[in-house]
Structure 1
Amino acid sequence: HLMEWFYSGLGGIYQDKKSVAYEELIIAPKPVGDLSWVKCSFNSPKGIISSKWKIEGNTFNLKIEIPENTVAQIIIPDNFKKSSCKVMELYSQKIIDVKIKDGVFKVTSGKYEIIAK
């Protein structure tokens, strides 16, 4: 289905295989071709999940919303995995310390901005 490809492919919104009712998510955007931005959201049983990303030059910017009582594994696109990443919690406007390994890290519910450059 086209919409499923849009959410899970371009937007990168997946339910983890071992998860029930979207308690564990994977956000793994997959930029393709000349596409420089995507904005999508999905109304899960836990609430709104959103993924909005854009590429400007050598910078990948990802804004996500993770619903209450949910954990998300974030996977930075391959082209940016070796970039330095900053993760900002948008409510507090503070950079948070996350352990990033090979472009992969976890966050809990909230709104975040991830910048890889």
Structure 2
Amino acid sequence: VIFDMNSHYDKPGYGWQLAHGATALTESWQAYGFVSNNHLMLGHLMEWLYSGLGGIRQADNSIAFHNIEINPMPVGDVNYASTTYQTPYGEVSCRWERKPGMYTMKLTVPANSAACVTLPASTASQVSDYGTPLADAEGISNIMPGSRTGNPNLTFTAASGTYNFQVADPVW
């Protein structure tokens, strides 16, 4: 369904809007030229690209992205995504790539912010930051193996800064 909404230019959807000259999300799927066409009413796909595929979300009970959740959700044969978002504290960016036996994430957490990061790893020993074991990496705290969180993924807190995580043998 999402593929049809995005890639088809022959029936109403995002592709249809582009084919008919839209430069912003339109008020209707048909992109009528006689109505206002600068509305985010149909913006759910964009939200999913940032928060789902890109993995950048504001944490619950956070104000102005002071606390961020980083949890990209690769789907299908998508093996790479790069997302940035400007918060009141600065730019947060998450760039991930998955290859056989390896998952990498380049992450920037803005000043005066912290991020709860989720990676496809069972244990911290699978993860490094710029080649340093995760447990010894600067700015990392609250490491929780997947077995303690009830899901298969490792979570931890990353203080403001730039990181280059590598996960060996990721858990999918």
TM-score range with shorter-chain normalisation?
0.7 to 0.9
* Superposition pairs of residues 1-117 of structure 1, within 5 angstroms: 1-76=44-119, 80-82=120-122, 84-88=126-130, 96=137, 98=140, 99-102=143-146, 103-117=154-168
Instruction: Give the 4+ runs in structure 1 shifted more than 4 A.
Output: none
Figure out how many residues of one structure are paired with residues of the other and give that number.
110
Query: 2: distance between equivalents of 1:41 and 1:3?
Result: 13
Gaps of 5+ in 1: none
Query: 2: distance between equivalents of 1:35 and 1:82?
Result: 22
| Higher percent of residues as strand | 1
Query: 1: distance between equivalents of 2:132 and 2:101?
Result: 23
Residues 122 and 145 in structure 2, CA contact (< 8 A), matched pair in contact too = no
CA-CA distance at 1:112 after TM superposition: 0.3
Percent identity over the alignment?
30
SS in 2 for 1:5: helix
CA-CA distance at 1:100 after TM superposition: 4.3
Q: Which has the larger radius of gyration?
A: 2
SS in 2 for 1:9: helix
Q: RCO (CA 8 Å, sep 6+): is it higher in 1 or 2?
A: 1
TM-score normalised by length of structure 1: 0.86
Query: 2: distance between equivalents of 1:82 and 1:101?
Result: 6
> What amino acid does structure 2 have at the position aligned with 1:49?
V
Gaps of 5+ in 2: 1-43, 147-153
The RMSD of aligned alpha carbons is 1.7
